[in-house]
Amino acid sequence: MPTEQVLKKKLRGVVTTRKISKAMKTAATVKYSQLSAVYSGYSEYSKQCRKLYEDYKTDFAKVFPQSKTEAPVCYVIMASNKGMCGNFNSDVFYYAENLLSEEKNETELIFCGEKTIAYFLNKGYKSVKEYTFSDVPKFTQAKEFYDDLCDLLSQKEYSSVKIVYPRYVNMVRQYPCVEELFNPEGTGNSEEADVLFVPDKETVINKSAEKIITSMLYGFILETAIGAQAATVMSMRSAYDAAVEYEEKLEGEINRKRQSRVTADVIETFAEYFREEE
């Protein structure tokens, strides 16, 4: 059985853990609130951009430099800058590694997020580019990212660009998925007869391609950021609750040992007194 001194030492450690987890939960909650405000105002626009791209993905892909279908695939892997967010990062990494192992074409990699960079470089993977976006990403960062992707497409041959990122559903659910961009072999599902292009389809596609794809990229970056903060809030909440529960348990054990010690001291005192009386 641990002594009272050992229990007090454990208690000090648990109290420190509780304070740290509470502070981190508070900080993550603030960032999550900021991101939630941005995401709620942007998600519907991003959703419509994705729908438009899916309907005319073949047309949008033709705006950019074309390459052969056997050319390498560029994978963009997005995760958070920090840990302490449960399985959020590891789920993305495991999913991405499975995709890479199953890919038939050669691959080139772009890493987004400090944890992504550290994980894959430690695994021996090489990257053509690395990015670290802010905790509350700006649209300008997505625009710079888009410009870099266009430069890569003009310099190298890629059959497509695949974005691996954690899709945000709600505060307790995020799951990894992949979206494919710039693929001329893709198929759309639009009904041409129902759409009127002014002045013509080619002009509209060419003029809107940059805005549509940049908006999609910003949506991916934003979902990664809000998912990371949501996962951090939930993880730190669990750590805080566990620390509070263990702290109460340790305090109970310390109180019982203290009471036992006091009782033993009282018994010893009375025993000594009766011995002296005799």
85-98 pLDDT tens trace:
889 999 999 999 99
> Residue 9: CB partners within 8 Å, gap ≥ 6?
none
Other CB atoms within a 10 A radius of the CB of residue 276 amount to 7
CA distance 130 to 127: 7
Q: At what angle do helices 114-122 and 88-102 cross, to 10 degrees?
A: 50
Cβ pair 123, 94 in contact under 8 A: no
pLDDT for res 263: 80
Q: Give, as one character, the DSSP assignment of residue 2.
A: -
Percentage of the chain surpassing pLDDT 90?
51
Give Rg (Cα) of the chain. Answer: 28
When the pLDDT of each residue in the chain is averaged and rounded to a whole number, the result is 88
Q: Please state the pTM of the whole predicted model.
A: 0.85
CATH class of the region 45-234: alpha beta
Say which residues have a Cβ less than 8 Å from residue 270's Cβ, sequence separation at least 6.
none
Task: Report pLDDT digits (tens) over 110-153.
Answer: 999 999 999 999 999 999 999 999 989 999 999 999 999 988 88
Residues 169-207: tens digit of each pLDDT: 998 899 999 999 887 665 555 555 467 788 888 888 889
> What pLDDT score was predicted for residue 266?
67
Q: Are 225 and 35 in contact (CB under 8 A)?
A: yes
Greater model confidence, 275 or 166? 166
Residue 56 scores a pLDDT above 70: yes
